[in-house]
Amino acid sequence: MSIELGLMLTGMLAIGFFAQWLAWRVKLPAILFLLLAGILLGPVFHVLDPDKLLGPLLFPVVSLSVALILFEGSLTLRFQELRGIGHVVRGLVSYGAIVALLLLAAAAHYLAGMSWDIALLFGALTCVTGPTVIVPMLRTLRPNARIANTLRWEGIVIDPLGALFAVLIYEAIVSRHQGHAIGVFLTTVIAGVVIGGVAAIVLGLLLRRQLIPEYLQNFGALAIVLLSFTLSNEIAHDSGLLTVTIMGIALANMRDVHIDDILDFKEHLTVLLVSMLFILLAARLSWPLPPGMLWAGIAIFLAAQFVVRPITVMVSSAGSGMTWRERALISWVAPRGIVAASVSALFALRLERLGVAGSDVLVPLVFILIIGTVVLQSATSRPLARWLKVAEPEPHGVLIFGSDAVARAIGSALNEAGFHVLLSDDDWDGIRRARMEGLTTFYGSPASAHAERNLDLTGIGLMLGLSTHRERNSLACLHYQQEFGRDKVYRLRNLAPQETSNRSALADRLSVPVLFEDTMTHARFAELLARGWRLKSTGLTPTFDWPHFIEQYGSSSILLFGVEEKQMLRVALAKRELEPRPGWTVIVLVPPEAPTPP
């Protein structure tokens, strides 16, 4: 049995990795491939039987995994960010979410015959989207900025709020089913809020006063979260999920508490847990479904897609100034994700143990809705955005990794030439200077898990690696080659060719095209700027072409970029010289003795 358990767990780990990798390659939410893998392993080919494999461990494994997923999701909800998200998002995550919850509950009750209490729980679980499904879809969809920001912020904010709704409704169902008075329900809620708040205060105090060494902070946070979850369940039955949700929200909004490292660790851990958990949960589905349940699930999906979401958006966007085309696309895009799948499976397990009628159909209906929304919306959203004329044109914006003087100078020159420029770096001083110079910035590495969820790449199709950190520069370039394509990612040398040994050079298949002339390094570029060289942007004409420019500004001038008449950016590379033509705008690094225009 131990050999079988080890083999199955490692096999699930490998399959989960492959599903995540495939989702990254095709730019679709990973939850789709994980659920399909679990369905194939379980009800289709009967290779995996989670109940037989894990036995009494199944429920604790699922419970602890969902607790960590909810804690990680609630860590992203910062109240200070709610003030700047706009009228539509505030509507979608408040009264709009309540409207969606009630309409979805009505659909589940009348179309699938669910009792009202289970139907309300279904509505709470499925009224939310999430960043793990929205962000990959937006990269393919590429709508205009208002739509992209609305959908992205809705997913970030409503993810933990939806979990909170679901937990509260679940607690009410359990209390009513067990014959508890309203006081027991309130006790459960109070216990969750108090224990979660106290745990957050304790962990925040330990982090703020540096009482936990940095290398143990992730371990300590994990231990406190799971301890709080278990202790809360012991004090007030089934209050643990509310505890970890409150704990995450409270910790995210504490001042002077650095949680970025913990959040990164939890994100990596969540990827592992989600990959294993969803395969397990999907493998527990029974096939064929109970009579009529498949058609009921499809009917609920159609109602959610064509009735519930449009009504929710219409109510939430009233008086917002959005065009009907923008509202139509937002009404179409609402894929369900991690919270709906993971929490519904956990609640179903618990409700089945309590003998609550209708709990056995909760997970199949949720999974049908997840698969339906992800598949339909991923396939049709981009053509719909083009038809509605709210899709961004071909992305000409530039992502720059780095924020030192070289990155800021190049970013400012491209920005003045009319390109949307975004500087990303984890050097706070450089990011602060870039903001003071009027550049759009993102604080963090562009290849981090945090950037995966929060970096808005709308309208951006080119990446320049200008960081002073050689290895991280190469890593970010390789990451964005998959995002933008190999011919849209470039780097500035950190070492001259003669300084790079064969042992430290990247393999050809990993190499990234080198910016500017072959001898140009980051250090040399910075030195030239310090000596008074400056970036000059000039439009070429038939009477003032490139030879005339060189004659006026000197042969030592270094051509960096050329901008064609249709706002196409051409990059000067070490192995590909540009030939500027009349009608182009050239961005050139010119020496200090070059004439300065009046």
Q: Tens of pLDDT along 113-135?
A: 898 989 999 998 898 887 777 87
**What integer pLDDT is reported at residue 181 of this predicted model?**
56
User: Quick one: what percent of the chain has pLDDT higher than 70?
Assistant: 90
Please say if the pLDDT value at position 509 is more than 70. no
**What integer pLDDT is reported at residue 503 of this predicted model?**
46
Please say if the pLDDT value at position 317 is more than 80. yes
Angle at 285 between CA 361 and CA 176, to 5 degrees: 35
User: Average pLDDT in the 448-470 region?
Assistant: 78
Separation of alpha carbons 551 and 594, rounded Å: 10
| Better-scored residue on pLDDT, 479 or 436 | 436
Contact 592, 531 (CB under 8 A): yes
CATH 3.40.50.720 residue spans of the chain = 397-590
CB burial class (10 A; 0-12, 13-18, 19+) of residue 431? buried
- What is the chain's percent helix, strand, coil content, to nearest 5? 65, 10, 25
Separation of alpha carbons 206 and 326, rounded Å: 46
**What integer pLDDT is reported at residue 508 of this predicted model?**
41
pLDDT in tens, 391-448: 776 677 888 888 888 889 888 888 888 888 889 888 888 888 889 888 888 888 887 7
Confidence of residue 507 (pLDDT cuts 50, 70, 90): very low
pTM strictly above 0.75: no
- Return the top range by mean pLDDT from 225-229, 345-349, 457-461, 501-505: 225-229
CB burial class (10 A; 0-12, 13-18, 19+) of residue 343? buried
Q: Tell me the CATH class for 57-388.
A: mainly alpha
CATH 1.20.1530.20 residue spans of the chain = 57-388
| Rama region for 455: left / alpha / beta (φ>0; ψ in -120 to 50; rest) | beta
User: Average pLDDT in the 336-340 region?
Assistant: 78
Confidence of residue 479 (pLDDT cuts 50, 70, 90): confident
Which residue's entry shows tokens 């209050």? Answer: 239
Q: Nearest 5°: phi and psi at 533?
A: -65, 150
Q: Tell me the CATH class for 397-590.
A: alpha beta
**What integer pLDDT is reported at residue 483 of this predicted model?**
73
Beta bridge partners of 305: none
**What integer pLDDT is reported at residue 548 of this predicted model?**
83
